[in-house]
Amino acid sequence: KAGVTQTPRYLIKTRGQQVTLSCSPISGHRSVSWYQQTPGQGLQFLFEYFSETQRNKGNFPGRFSGRQFSNSRSEMNVSTLELGDSALYLCASSGRGQNTGELFFGEGSRLTVL
């Protein structure tokens, strides 16, 4: 079955702009999580959505937001971009029925802020 799909894969923005990243989970998966990966901070949890509700949120400023649609697809938005937002943003989905908490990751969206 198709894996987690993220778009766009690469993007370049300038400081002050905003960006929207999209994630389509594995078919049947209703939980979508977002992680930020940087060389300095490693992998950090941003937020998790299940059935269009945010169930958990990491320690990121309010400039980072997300949402989930009725078809489980998710978007995350970063407003007023800063240089430090340059990172690989990874989306992961999990199936509630499996009850293992195992996450399946997409290829990521690599954001460069100039």
Partner 1 sequence: ELKVEQNPLFLSMQEGKNYTIYCNYSTTSDRLYWYRQDPGKSLESLFVLLSNGAVKQEGRLMASLDTKARLSTLHITAAVHDLSATYFCAVDSTRQGGSEKLVFGKGTKLTVNP
* Contact status: 1 vs partner 1 (CB under 8 A): no
The Cα–Cα gap between 104 and 75 comes to 17
* Contact status: 25 vs partner 1 (CB under 8 A): no
Instruction: Pick one of 21, 24, 48, 72: the residue that binds partner 1 (CB under 8 A).
Output: 48
Which residues lie below 8 Å from residue 58, measured CB to CB, with a gap of 6+? 44, 45, 46, 47
Which residue(s) pair with 18 in the sheet?
none
Q: How many C-beta neighbours within 10 Å does residue 65 have?
A: 17
Residue 98 backbone dihedrals phi, psi, to 5 degrees: -80, -25
Which residues lie below 8 Å from residue 51, measured CB to CB, with a gap of 6+? 30, 68
* Contact status: 76 vs partner 1 (CB under 8 A): no
* Contact status: 68 vs partner 1 (CB under 8 A): no
* Contact status: 103 vs partner 1 (CB under 8 A): yes
- Binding part of the chain for partner 1, among 11-19, 21-29, 70-78, 93-101 by CB under 8 A, reads 93-101
- Binding part of the chain for partner 1, among 17-25, 36-44, 65-73, 79-87 by CB under 8 A, reads 36-44
The answer to whether 21 touches 37, Cβ cutoff 8 Å, is: no
Q: Cβ of residue 78: shortest distance to partner 1, in angstroms?
A: 20
Q: Which residues bind partner 1 (CB under 8 A)?
A: 31, 33, 35, 42-45, 48, 50, 55-56, 58, 90, 92, 94, 96, 99-108
